[in-house]
């Protein structure tokens, strides 16, 4: 099938590359010529494991094309995926200007039946707005909903984890497709069934529903996962106070099949492009409908506070005035295997350390360039603080002369460091672990002062050793 992807961001590129991989003829459109130049030059504008190789392979096979030509993109695809950004507006609602502009572009140029697929994460009711825009553009051209200019708007939300998006797309646990039962719905359903047929050969993974339910499903899924994270973070903070070990608690409750282990890791808060934005958008949608989502309001509040938990532990241990103190920070991206700095806990942590007078040397395996850009903006009005932030070429390079090491992102490379080397390089052997990578008692026995999230040093080992 001939497929058009509008938007070459995270969702658009992964969707386009994976659909090309299973044999479709994919045309990727972006109005940003810089992105298209990077892609046509053999690069990729984002970091996602496996994506570059996938794109290169399918470009060689001539199954994927990148262009800024809007008219050509509409002409190409019988199915048009809208995969543009939906950033949060000032009031927390999703900004749909790019989605609606994509719909206008389709309406200006379409000839023949088109299936327009909302792949972007959008609020309930967006498909209707897209449909209205398409009808309006066709009317401007003097065209009604004739057979030649029919269309159907479908909701097909993505469920991709940054850092594992290619595998998530190629091995989906479910494919949600929202189609309204109307004159064009049956034809749209047949096209979507053909599109995703390779993923359903072993067993049917597609779940069909109405459009509004599909739109709601995406928000509800992310809200549930964010809730689990904030719940465990709140439990971890209580565990710190009462002397319980949240890792033991996690294993204890996760073994219950009704709960499971996923998204039960305590830490220094969630970030990224999805959870913060989608929780806020769902809260806003509820407010517009006259309802308060009290649980999600608490989830957001807990996460906001959790991003300060490491600073609170540092202040308690080392004092509020950190002038003259130097910190090594491992991890900048909001999660491993990505360079995404949106809502990353490292931004709050580093900003607070600098505001308290400290100097910081930071390292991330892939996000350093993006972090340089982000912190230049974050600290634009505080040049003296910006001057006290540096970025190291390796994790070891951050350590020399540091008063403490702070772990913010759980990259695999950070999980088994040479602790003897750490002790030698740090002024004081002190670790603030925002992702609970290490065992408190093992570090205590090695002579390292350790602060985790809900992980007090236990007397359990002394009993078992006796």
376-393 pLDDT, tens digit per residue, is 999 999 999 999 999 999
Determine what percent of the chain is predicted with pLDDT higher than 90.
Answer: 88
The pLDDT of residue 257 is 96
Please tell me whether 218 is known to bind a ligand.
Answer: yes
- The answer to whether the annotation marks 267 as part of a ligand binding site is yes
Residue 21, CA distances (Å) to 15, 62, 196 in order: 10, 11, 12
For 8-30, what is each residue's pLDDT tens digit?
999 999 999 999 999 999 999 99
Is residue 333 within 8 A of residue 414, CB to CB? The reply is: no
Our measurement of the distance from residue 33's CA atom to the centroid of its chain's CA atoms, rounded to an integer in Å, reads 24
> Using 50, 70 and 90 to split pLDDT, how confident is the model at 88?
confident
Residue 458 reports pLDDT greater than 70? no
pLDDT in tens, 119-137: 998 999 999 999 999 999 9
Tell me the average pLDDT of the chain.
94
Whether 35 has a binding-site annotation, put simply, is yes
In this prediction, residue 18 carries a pLDDT of: 98
State the Cα–Cα distance between residues 234 and 246, nearest whole angstrom. Answer: 10
Domains 2-209 and 225-461 share a fold: yes
Mean pLDDT value of segment 405-427 = 96
pLDDT of residue 108: 95
pLDDT interval class at 459 (50, 70, 90): very low
Instruction: Give the model's pLDDT for residue 149.
Output: 64
What residues pair up with 177 in beta bridges, in sequence order? 208
Number of C-beta neighbours around residue 248 at 10 A: 14
Domain boundaries, the chain: 2-209, 225-461
Question: Is 271 annotated for ligand binding?
Answer: yes
244 pLDDT above the threshold of 50: yes
> 462 pLDDT exceeds 50?
no
The pLDDT value given to residue 273 = 84
pLDDT at 461: 46
Distance CA 104, CA 96 (A): 12
pLDDT(341) > 70: yes
265 is in an annotated binding site: yes
- The hierarchical CATH code for the domain 225-461 is 3.40.50.720
The pLDDT of residue 321:
98
Question: Which of 323, 341, 345 lies closest to 433, judged by CA?
Answer: 345
Could you read off the pLDDT of 137-172 as tens digits, one per residue? 999 988 865 555 689 999 999 999 999 999 999 999
| pLDDT, mean of residues 230-246 | 96
Q: What class has domain 2-209?
A: alpha beta
Q: Give the C-alpha separation, 283 to 297, whole Å.
A: 7
Q: Which residues are catalytic?
A: 274
pLDDT above 50 for 193: yes
Q: Binding residue per annotation — 191?
A: no
Q: What's the pTM?
A: 0.90
């Amino acid at each position: 099938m001939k497929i058009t992807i509008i938007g070459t961001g995270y969702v658009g590129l992964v969707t386009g590359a994976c659909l090309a991989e299973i044999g479709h003829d994919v045309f990727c459109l972006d109005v940003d010529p810089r992105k298209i130049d990077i892609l046509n030059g053999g690069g990729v504008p984002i970091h996602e494991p496996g994506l570059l190789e996938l794109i290169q392979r399918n470009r060689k096979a001539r199954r994927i094309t990148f262009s800024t030509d809007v008219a050509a993109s509409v002409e190409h695809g019988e199915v048009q995926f809208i995969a543009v950004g939906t950033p949060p507006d000032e009031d927390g609602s999703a900004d749909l200007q790019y989605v609606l502009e994509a719909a206008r572009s389709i309406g200006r140029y379409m000839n023949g039946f088109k299936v327009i697929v909302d792949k972007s994460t959008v609020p309930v009711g967006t498909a209707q707005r897209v449909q209205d825009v398409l009808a309006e553009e066709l009317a401007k051209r003097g065209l009604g909903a004739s057979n030649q200019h029919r269309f159907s708007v479908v909701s097909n939300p993505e469920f991709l984890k940054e850092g594992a998006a290619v595998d998530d797309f190629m091995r989906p646990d479910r494919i949600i497709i929202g189609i309204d039962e109307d004159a064009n719905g049956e034809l749209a359903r047949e096209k979507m069934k053909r599109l995703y047929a390779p993923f359903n050969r072993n067993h049917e993974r597609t779940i069909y529903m109405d459009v509004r339910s599909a739109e709601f499903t995406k928000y509800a899924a992310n809200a549930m996962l964010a809730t689990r994270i904030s719940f465990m973070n709140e439990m971890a903070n209580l565990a710190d106070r009462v002397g319980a070990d949240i890792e033991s608690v996690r294993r204890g409750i996760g073994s219950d099949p009704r709960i499971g282990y996923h998204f039960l890791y305590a830490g220094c808060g969630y970030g990224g492009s999805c959870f913060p934005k989608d929780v806020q958008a769902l809260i806003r949608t509820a407010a517009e409908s006259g309802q308060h989502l009290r649980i999600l309001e608490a989830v957001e509040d807990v996460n906001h506070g959790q991003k300060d938990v490491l600073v609170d532990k540092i202040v308690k241990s080392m004092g509020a005035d950190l002038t003259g103190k130097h910190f090594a920070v491992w991890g900048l991206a909001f999660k491993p295997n990505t360079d995404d700095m949106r809502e990353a806990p490292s931004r709050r942590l580093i900003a607070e350390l600098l505001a308290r007078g400290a100097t910081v040397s930071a390292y991330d395996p892939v996000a350093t360039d993006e972090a340089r850009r982000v912190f230049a903006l974050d600290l634009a009005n505080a040049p003296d603080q910006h001057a006290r932030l540096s970025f190291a070429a390796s994790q070891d390079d951050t350590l020399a002369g540091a008063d403490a090491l702070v772990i913010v992102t759980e990259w695999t490379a950070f999980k088994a460091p040479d602790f003897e080397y750490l002790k030698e390089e740090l002024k004081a052997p002190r670790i603030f672990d925002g992702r609970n990578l290490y065992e408190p008692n093992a570090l205590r026995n090695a002579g390292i002062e350790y602060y985790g999230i809900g992980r007090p040093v236990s007397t359990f080992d002394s009993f078992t050793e006796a």
